[in-house]
Structure 1
Amino acid sequence: MTVLTARELNRATLARQMLLERADTTALDAVAHLCGLQAQEPQEPFIGLWSRLRGFAPGELSGLLNDRKVARTHLMRRTVHLVTTDDAVAWRPRHQSMLLQRGATAYRDELDGVDLEALASAGREVLADGQGRSSADLVRAVAERRPDAVGQAGTRALGEMLMGLVPVVQLPPRGLWREKGGVRNVPLAAWAGREVDLAAPEGADGSDPVGRELVRRYLAAYGPASSADLRAWCGLAGLPGAVKAVRGELVSFRDERGRELLDLPDASRPDPATPAPVRFLPAFDNAVLGYQDRGRIIDDDHRWVSVAGERVVLADGRVSATWNVEEETVVVTPLRALDRAEREAVGAEGEETASFLSEGGSRRVRVGAPKG
């Protein structure tokens, strides 16, 4: 079985994630290809798409959200993702058990004695009027309408469980470019204009068509990857059957640690010598968080940045710096020593990033010394 080096895996990831060169495609198609973008920080998906698409304009993504072609919803790993509305409807039933289990585990003691079926029924009744509600407002309305459904549980626990029991999406202006707005939820079914059947995640023959599609879609955007990488990305434990069902369509490799990696046979696996341009990525970017083993793109010493909400800079395809905006300056803090050519490339891409964020304004770039 062919062994793929860390650099080969790095270049494959960059190619699949549209980070070797910016793609000529629409924002909607990019969101679909990437299987969504992590979006608990509402403005970050705009940076993620700008780093990947040629000529990307923020208004395009805002338009998709206003037109309800994309949705902000809890999905993979129980985190907020920006996904196409079609994917939200198709994938939510397959994630339902995971969403409920994680919520019930996190608030086990508080939810003791709460009738979850009654809570879900009351939540659906309250949300049926189509008015967007915050989690706290939803809990208050449910408690007023059905006090028997909430028991002694606190607002946070009930709100978290309602988000799992009743599929919802977050309304604009939250998630629009340069707009601020608190979370207001409406049912996914109302947003999409069609029902979401949570009771039927599998095919009539007992198969798992959604799971098989998740495997294929994940590999198209993240492969080659292991089953552990797939689980880490989606948070689902129950995909071995789907992997087994599509294995005949796939090719197998090994990484340098001996782990089996699966991939689509015709997917891009570039020459490891392919140059990788500097890219400025948003917090919690797919390319970093999409794997259980993140060694293909980030050194072990720097793994902390992947969960700390740091925006990162790729140099030679690897996480090499963090960045943020201080007043009118894009500030880059290297995680390792950058040679002269790398510093120049980081500075140049930083200027482009600053121009995007300020929409042609005069923000500056400052590349500092390495941390430590």
Structure 2
Amino acid sequence: MLTLRDLNRATLARQHLLSRHRGEPGDIVHRLAGLQAQEPRPPYLGVWTRLEGFERDDLHAALHARTLVRATMWRATLHLVTAADFAAFRPLLRPVLAGAARRFEGVDFEAVVAAAGRLLAAGPMTFNELRPRLLEEFPGAYDRALGYAVRMLTPLAMEPTGDRWSFPRDPAFGLAGIEPEPAGQSALVERYLAAFGPATPADVQTWSGLGGMRPVMEAMELERLTDAAGRVLFDLPGAPRPGGDVPAPVRFLPDFDTLILGHADRTRVLAEEFKGRVATKNLRIKAVYLVDGFAAGTWQIKRSGKKARLLVSPFATADLGQIEEEGLRLLAFAEPDATTLSLEEANGV
């Protein structure tokens, strides 16, 4: 039987949050099967907290070399993934993405996708540029519906720029140009468990957006374990499970971090009573910091001139001294041109 702490440590080990990985940014992106990338900066911070000696320019270079791409993937949301995973798993997600597109009625999806392909063949465009062009071909249509259909149904990748976090506020999208090499559902399950396991079929479905995972997992040669509630958890044979007594260092996770979003039951990292303080009504997932492996508060960066402050909001009374060293290291990475760095309690900010 796996205790809550056993589950916590097993997952942190696979997320490289017990000890940082030594290697390249692409290693982390591959091992986690992608990082949530709703905004440009969080993937950089997500790699930083998991990779020893990470340099911003290394991830920037990988994006420009197209070994990593920022594209619509799991749960029909933006992720940073390897080009190989885009080729393998984007085809598998086609039903999910098509289902998301159908939220808008009265759209000739096939015609819209064909038109977008013609327009984007001439070069990348922002959606603010693309939507008016689509309206010329589909007069009277709802422009947002046209754009959303293209985003879901056309394999696109964001075009990286020279910005600090590789993408501007209004990024251009282009045809990904990555030849599909479809993987099967069992390959998806293996990759998920390697990054998030042990887990239930519901966990896999929550992370990926795909349904019907139970029969797939039951047909695979996976270990069957139980948690404290008696639920059956599946895992890869020989996968790391270091035990609940292994020390876990302080770690800072960015907004929308894949770990917080990766399970149907988030209690292995985020206690139920704190869920409402992390997930907002407008579907934002706040940045959190981990103490002893579990979310202990949220954080944000405030910048004023050359002064950068890391403001933390603990969930309970806390000794900020235990998180200060790691927090200031994060702040120095995120705000490299700041001359004054400090960590403070938010006090309702």
**Normalising to structure 1: TM-score of the pair?**
0.86
Of the three residues 74, 78, 81, the one matched with 1:80 is 78
1:12 Cα offset (Å) = 0.7
| Dislocated runs of 4+, deviation >6 Å | none
The count of corresponding residues between Structure 1 and Structure 2 is 341
Of the three residues 140, 158, 161, the one matched with 1:173 is 161
1:126 Cα offset (Å) = 1.2
Q: Is 1:346 paired with 2:320?
A: no
Task: Output the CA distance in 1 between the equivalents of 2:346 and 2:134.
Answer: 53
Q: 1:44 matched to which residue of 2?
A: 42
Task: Output the CA distance in 2 between the equivalents of 1:25 and 1:291.
Answer: 26
Return the letter of the residue paired with 2:275. R
1:238-253 matches, cutoff 5 A: 238-246=212-220, 248=221, 250-253=222-225
Q: Is 1:310 paired with 2:308?
A: no
CA deviation profile, 1:232-291 (whole Å, cap 9, x unmatched) = 000011434432332x2x101111222211001111101211111111110011111100
1:121 Cα offset (Å) = 1.3
Task: Output the CA distance in 2 between the equivalents of 1:31 and 1:211.
Answer: 19
Q: 2:339 matched to which residue of 1?
A: 362
Q: 1:117 matched to which residue of 2?
A: 110
1:215 Cα offset (Å) = 0.3
Q: 1:71 to 1:300 in 2, by over 3 A?
A: same
1:175 Cα offset (Å) = 7.5
Unaligned runs of 5+ in 1: 202-208
Question: What secondary structure, in the 3-state scheme, does the structure 1 residue paired with 2:241 have?
Answer: coil
Q: 2:145 matched to which residue of 1?
A: 157
Q: Is 1:269 paired with 2:241?
A: yes
Q: Which moved more, 1:44-53 or 1:180-189?
A: 180-189
Question: What secondary structure, in the 3-state scheme, does the structure 1 residue paired with 2:327 have?
Answer: helix
Task: Output the CA distance in 2 between the equivalents of 1:61 and 1:176.
Answer: 11
Q: 1:128 to 1:369 in 2, by over 3 A?
A: closer
Q: 1:151 to 1:96 in 2, by over 3 A?
A: farther
Q: Is 1:321 paired with 2:289?
A: no
Q: Which moved more, 1:171-180 or 1:218-227?
A: 171-180
Question: What secondary structure, in the 3-state scheme, does the structure 2 residue paired with 1:132 have?
Answer: coil
Task: Output the CA distance in 2 between the equivalents of 1:174 and 1:88.
Answer: 23
Unaligned runs of 5+ in 2: none
CA deviation profile, 1:158-188 (whole Å, cap 9, x unmatched) = 1001112211011112875376341211111
Contact 1:355 1:363 in 2 (8 A): no
Q: 2:129 matched to which residue of 1?
A: 137
Q: 1:204 matched to which residue of 2?
A: none
What is the identity percentage for the equivalent residue pairs of Structure 1 and Structure 2? 36
1:124 Cα offset (Å) = 1.1
Q: 1:174 to 1:227 in 2, by over 3 A?
A: farther
Return the letter of the residue paired with 1:211. Q
Contact 1:32 1:83 in 2 (8 A): yes
Task: Output the CA distance in 2 between the equivalents of 1:59 and 1:42.
Answer: 14
Q: Is 1:221 paired with 2:201?
A: no
**Normalising to structure 2: TM-score of the pair?**
0.92
Of the three residues 332, 341, 351, the one matched with 2:312 is 332
1:91-106 matches, cutoff 5 A: 91-105=89-103
1:275-294 matches, cutoff 5 A: 275-294=247-266
1:17 Cα offset (Å) = 0.4
Contact 2:40 2:166 in 1 (8 A): no
